[in-house]
Amino acid sequence: MADHIPLYPVRSAAAAAAANRKRAAYYNAAGLGPGADRHSRYQLEDESAHLDEMPLMMSEEGFENDESDYHTLPRARITRRRRGIEWLVCGGWKFLCTSCCDWLIHVCQRKKELKARTVWLGCPEKCEEKHPRNAIKNQKYNVFTFIPGVLYEQFKFFLNLYFLVVSCSQFVPALKIGYLYTYWAPLGFVLAVTIMREAIDEFRRFRRDKEMNSQLYSKLTVRGKVQVKSSDIQVGDLIIVEKNQRIPSDMVFLRTSEKAGSCFIRTDQLDGETDWKLKVAVSCTQRLPALGDLFSINAYVYAQKPQLDIHSFEGTFTREDSDPPVHESLSIENTLWASTVVASGTVIGVVIYTGKETRSVMNTSNPKNKVGLLDLELNQLTKALFLALIALSAVMVALQGFVGPWYRNLFRFLLLFSYIIPISLRVNLDMGKAAYGWMIMRDEHIPGTVVRTSTIPEELGRLVYLMTDKTGTLTQNEMVFKRLHLGTVSYGTDTMDEIQNHVITSYSQTQSQASGNNASSTPPRKAQSSAPKVRRSVSSRIHEAVKAIALCHNVTPVYESRAAGAGETEYAEVDQDFSDENRTYQASSPDEVALVQWTESVGLTLVSRDLTSMQLKTPSGQILTYHVLQVFPFTSENKRMGIVVRDESTAEITFYMKGADVAMSTIVQYNDWLEEECGNMAREGLRTLVVAKKSLTEEQYQDFESRYSQAKLSLHDRALKVAAVVESLEREMELLCLTGVEDQLQADVRPTLEMLRNAGIKIWMLTGDKLETATCIAKSSHLVSRTQDIHVFRPVTNRGEAHLELNAFRRKHDCALVIAGDSLEVCLKYYEHEFVELACQCPAVVCCRCSPTQKAHIVKLLQQHTGRRTCAVGDGGNDVSMIQAADCGIGIEGKEGKQASLAADFSITQFKHIGRLLMVHGRNSYKRSAALGQFVMHRGLIISTMQAVFSSVFYFASVPLYQGFLMVGYATIYTMFPVFSLVLDQDVKPETALLYPELYKDLTKGRSLSFKTFLIWVLISIYQGGILMYGALVLFESEFVHVVAISFTALILTELLMVALTIRTWHWLMVVAEFLSLGCYLASLAFLNEYFDVAFITTVTFLWKVSAITVVSCLPLYILKYLKRKLSPPSYSKLTS
């Protein structure tokens, strides 16, 4: 098919080449460092020059017939460039300002280039260049920038800036209207609260930083140990770190108190993983007789330049004063990164990176300040109100006939009507957000939920896309061994006892044989027995398989000694009692622990492990010792791990290997069952590992070892050379077995995903796991329903393949998409717009083998292309970037530590709580804030309408209707409680919202707060303001003072009645608030004799006039509301009736 597609270059070759250079520069600058093997993925293919502007065909007929379609440009690029005045008005000024600011910042903070370094042991003064201080700084501001910084954050909102200008204008005598405090008190209150909140946060950050920076560590000097503060540590210092102490900076591990020459560290603060990591001391320094000898040798460490990747490191250790000089290669297992914690023994290391150059600091991104959609919508509405305010003032001045200093009058009118934009809007909404956060945390149906970002609870009610991690989020990350397959025979959970019997018999035979002739070195499988041949072969194969699984891993048994205090860990020596109840296993992968626990259950137990040896206990209690000669760790590139061991009793050398079926299928000898069985297990939702072995002679091994150590010392392309040597060993291996381990789903994952799907939320699963596992979890969790087709996107490496595959996918309708990270990268490189458009039409999308940066990239793409709100859910350190990029990030406290839950906006304990968080709390927060915001605006509009009517009646005089305390009291004590009680309102009971998740779809359309609803409130305000003012003027007697009394009392009553009209579900606190406000007003009448004539207020005339006006202003609205409920009730009321 591809051969028939004519691919015409659209641009000149020079332009295409320039584009390629740009793209290459862009990907190189992505900061992924040489360690991350990214370049190979972005090799710019030759044909990309020709294909650079080739669009993806979006019409089926065109693909078959019309070839001229290729001349058109993709729609993504068609957007016409606006230039000139139009461009400047439509956001060009913003672009220019940000460009200038970015340039200034770039000039001020020009980063110095990071370089590789040579570090002499214990000699910081020998460093050629200056390295950053080892101080931790998480503060946003310093003493000088605090006030300006906080004020800028506040006044960048149009609303607040407007109030500032209005308040400042009151210092000009000609513009002064009423008292200063009526303007400055509310603004001062808002600012004081904000500054206090920021100051407390900043002080907490300062205290945390100071605590970390002043931790004391022992530094080794020629004169012995001295105590230094963490912030005073320099590159080249020799630092001693005790057990359970935080490592203060990035170091190379030189010695340890442990006999084995290795130690464990906890890395949960760095990568979110809770398991311990084994680290190895540099053997040259570990062998030195005493600590002080570190100063008697002349040695240095050569370290690569600081980079992001926490899983790789290249360096060398050189001792110059020995003959010949000692060179040792350093890798990730010789490093101790900052922010990790020593879990065993005492370690001594030499500092290589400090401060900003440490891996932990380089990997923290500055989280963006998230602003909710509702806040942006309200900001738009305030701008509309501002335009209305200017128009109204201009009309007033025009009607005056531009007499005298008309511009001064214009400004006075602007101030008189400034209540159109109420300052209490921000105060009420912020208090409302705090209340919603409190309600979420108090909800006993979702215990343990924490709101970390209190500014965006309404976002929970507007979500359209939900990105979720798989491991630990949808699944429990608890592995259970389920299946062992030997090719001809398969064992499940119910037949494990057979395996146990086989293991027991094979070891008892071996033992009896060994006792028969002591000098015998017969390997166990040659043990003669009277059992039939077939039977024996199965038995020996099981025995070999179990032994391989028990030996091929990176697991270390740890013994918690009873005598020592809690948390004290003793390492088992051979003579120690290997009691089962004290033993726990530590490994970097839960799969490995599951496998070793399984071999223990069938009788072969791992009892001790150090760097050089490993001991297994047979069912009869005999201890078998194996010497570990080499370990090849698992990486995401090679997808396999290997180990070379020598059996102490027989001196046989065996190379064991286990890994993913994709990696292992080419390594093992030919067989006809592996691929099929892997497919079967994956469909059951099991994670598969293929186990193989190869026996080596002494000569083969010695040859391999010399080549391997040579490759490990090379400074250039070390990883490639090492991989090439290891691959020479990975040939024609004997396939032993296939294992299946199940990762169990979290509680109630299926009903929760079902509910979210019914609510119209599209769910994307972004995982680092392999394609098969991801697909099977997507099916078992019902992310993809049973009836739906799944389109697995074929691996693509260049533009032409991506083009064909996207066209094939476009023809499918209503099917879920499964795509791997590298194919996704290719598609986004050439067909970003088209790919996102197609993927958004899918009911579910699964992206597997995603890196953390890719996850964040996908979230940003969805935000840009769809403009909808996104939510990211994750539980590990690798999900942090995705959580911070999403509009709303939810972290789950899981097995992988608390890193994700600390970085998230909302932290929950289980995935199933998301349903209630969105359906109930998201709905309520959004609906309540929308009602509250519009009501506060209505409260400002109604008084401005009254002012306009008053001014127009009195010959357009710019005189205030209500003075001083009446204005302050109106917005606070008289109406504040009932208006704020709207945060307790709910239109649907929580049970109904959870039972009918379809109700959630309405929220995403944003109908509760739109220009339409806003306009209705504006009309209501104009109607009521007009009635109140005209009513008071028509009914007013003799003195002007009565107008104020009648209209103000009627206004307060109208507001209280309007709150009652707006409420959908009554709460006892709402009733209390209504009566409390009314009581406050009546009580204050006694004191406000400068505004009110007390004698007049107590008359019957006053009462009937006020009642009449109030009834006229409110009754029609009550009637309209009743009719609307009868004739076109909202969807939720149909369900509840």
Cα–Cα dist 471/769, whole Å: 8
Quick one: which H or E segment has residue 893?
none
Calculate the CA 106 to chain-centre distance: 27
Residues 6+ away with beta carbon under 8 Å from 840 = 762, 862, 865, 866
Cα–Cα dist 121/254, whole Å: 10
Residue-by-residue DSSP string for 561-596: -SSSPTT-EEPPPTTS---GGGEEEE-S-HHHHHHH
Cα–Cα dist 823/802, whole Å: 8
Residue 24, class by beta-carbon neighbours within 10 Å (0-12 exposed, 13-18 middle, 19+ buried)?
middle
Cα–Cα dist 588/264, whole Å: 11
Dihedral through CA 308, CA 309, CA 314, CA 317, nearest 10? 70
Q: Does residue 978 have a cis bond before it (omega within 30 degrees)? A: no
Give the strand pairing for 299-303 and 450-451.
Answer: unpaired
- Taking Cα atoms as reference points, which of 1065, 1043, 782 lies closest to residue 923? 1065
Cα–Cα dist 887/926, whole Å: 15
Q: Under DSSP, is residue 1041 helix (H, G, I), strand (E, B) or coil?
A: helix
237, 268, 469, 879: which is the annotated catalytic residue? 469
Q: In what side-by-side order are the strands of the sheet with 224-229?
A: 224-229, 216-221, 238-241, 347-353, 250-256, 335-336
For residue 196, give both structure tokens: 């206090």
Beta strand segments in 863-946, E? 869-874, 888-892, 906-908
For residue 354, give both structure tokens: 């400090």
Cα–Cα dist 767/773, whole Å: 10
732: left (phi > 0), else alpha (psi -120 to 50), else beta? left
For residue 599, give both structure tokens: 């071999």
- Taking Cα atoms as reference points, which of 1025, 1072, 1029 lies closest to residue 1047? 1029
Q: Under DSSP, is residue 755 helix (H, G, I), strand (E, B) or coil?
A: helix
DSSP designation for 333 = G
Residues 6+ away with beta carbon under 8 Å from 866 = 464, 465, 836, 840
469 labelled catalytic: yes
Cα–Cα dist 636/770, whole Å: 10
Cα–Cα dist 500/502, whole Å: 5
For the chain, what is the largest distance between any 2 Cα atoms, rounded to a whole number of angstroms?
Answer: 129
For residue 907, give both structure tokens: 């932290």
Cα–Cα dist 729/701, whole Å: 9
Q: 19: how many CB neighbours lie within 10 A of its CB?
A: 16
Calculate the alpha carbon distances from 1012 to 157, 1007, 1018 in Å: 23, 8, 10
Residue with tokens 């699964």: 846
Q: 533: how many CB neighbours lie within 10 A of its CB?
A: 6
Crossing angle of helices 533-551 and 496-516, rounded to 10°: 100
% helix, strand, coil for the chain, step of 5: 50, 15, 35
468: left (phi > 0), else alpha (psi -120 to 50), else beta? beta
Q: Are 874 and 469 in contact (CB under 8 A)?
A: yes
Q: Under DSSP, is residue 686 helix (H, G, I), strand (E, B) or coil?
A: strand
Which residues are designated catalytic? 469
